[in-house]
């Protein structure tokens, strides 16, 4: 399929580059470093070879969210966004942008989102999970009450918000002790992000802001397969939910979430997600440079779904959601 749009596609700036070093073997670092720091050359060539018209670019992880000192987080976010705006301006037909945000300071994060959307023309934001605030051992999630005004502004601006993974801190990683291979994209990324998404659903956020749209990568971090059980475990007991939200969590999953194929190129999983959330709420992505464009594109172009669904997932859903 020609004209595909991807929206979990990462870059780095020198200040955040080292954040990506530990996820792959040391001998792969020169290749990954080259991929992360390039925007206009190899990236475009990969896109051209595999039918990608556009990438919506976002900063690597955990980056800003792992900077405990708020003033530095604000500075790095602004510099990353300014750099990205200049790169997008060189080829706006091929690249658009998602803002990095300093959630360590909710007021500044709100201002930066507004600046990026109103002044720089960004299409939304991507945040790497919880933020460390002042104390490096802290883990502040986005259902925290301090973010109420931020979510109100996100709703007002009518832009999507991509909830991207990060690893739990070592102090919260006891379940992985002795099994470090489970960290990162193998398992911990998905588990961490799925719980974060469930917290947002249960908090009442979408009752207050029913227009908000949250994006999850990797075909939903396992939630399509599990959301029914989240709402229906021990159903014979008739126990009422013990959270503020007014609806079952599956309702918000179907009304307020989109999924991407980033880093999960599996037809069976795609079909499960289509059955659970619908093809109108799934979008193509590659997760470049951590995954290959060719692996994503060759799989997607050949997977046995209808032409109508392929066009929606490959392009038109993203055009509609991001107003491209």
Residues classed as catalytic: 287
Residue 141, Cβ density class (10 Å: 0-12 exposed, 13-18 middle, ≥19 buried): middle
- 16: nearest Cα among 91, 53, 82, 66: 66
Query: Angle at Cα 182 formed by Cα 181 and Cα 184, nearest 5°?
Result: 95
Count Cα neighbours of 323 within 13 Å in the Cβ-side half-sphere. 9
Give Dmax (Cα) for the chain: 59
The total of other beta-carbon atoms located within 10 Å of residue 48's CB is: 12
Query: Angle at Cα 209 formed by Cα 165 and Cα 116, nearest 5°?
Result: 60
The CA R_g of the chain, rounded to the nearest whole Å, is: 19
Tokens of 118: 């109103």
Torsion region of 287: left, alpha or beta (phi above 0 gives left; psi -120 to 50 gives alpha): left
């Amino acid at each position: 399929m020609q004209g595909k749009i991807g929206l979990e596609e990462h870059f780095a700036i020198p200040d955040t580059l080292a954040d990506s070093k530990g996820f792959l073997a040391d001998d792969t670092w020169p290749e990954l470093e080259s991929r992360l720091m390039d925007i206009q050359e190899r990236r475009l060539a990969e896109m051209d070879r595999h039918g990608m018209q556009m990438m919506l670019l976002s900063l690597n992880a955990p980056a800003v969210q792992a900077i405990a000192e708020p003033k530095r987080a604000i500075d790095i976010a602004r510099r990353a966004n300014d750099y990205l705006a200049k790169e997008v301006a060189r080829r706006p037909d091929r690249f658009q942008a998602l803002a990095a945000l300093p959630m360590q300071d909710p007021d500044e994060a709100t201002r930066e989102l507004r600046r990026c959307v109103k002044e720089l023309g960004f299409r939304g934001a991507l945040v790497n999970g919880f933020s460390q605030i002042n104390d490096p051992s802290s883990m502040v999630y986005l259902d925290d009450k301090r973010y109420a005004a931020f979510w109100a502004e996100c709703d007002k601006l009518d832009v999507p918000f991509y909830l991207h993974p990060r690893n739990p801190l070592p102090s919260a990683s006891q379940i992985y002790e002795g099994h470090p291979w489970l960290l990162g994209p193998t398992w911990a990324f998905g588990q961490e992000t799925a719980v974060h998404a469930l917290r947002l659903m249960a908090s009442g956020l979408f009752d207050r802001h029913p227009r908000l749209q949250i994006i999850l990568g990797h075909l939903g971090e396992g939630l399509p397969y599990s959301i029914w059980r989240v709402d229906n475990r021990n159903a014979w007991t008739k126990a009422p939910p013990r959270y503020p939200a007014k609806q079952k969590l599956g309702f918000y999953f179907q009304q307020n979430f989109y999924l991407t194929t980033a880093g999960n190129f599996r037809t069976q999983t795609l079909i499960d997600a289509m059955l659970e959330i619908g093809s109108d709420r799934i979008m193509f992505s590659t997760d470049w440079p951590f995954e290959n464009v060719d692996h994503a594109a060759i799989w997607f172009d050949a997977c046995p779904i209808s032409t109508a669904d392929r066009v929606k997932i490959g392009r038109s859903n993203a055009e509609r959601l991001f107003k491209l």
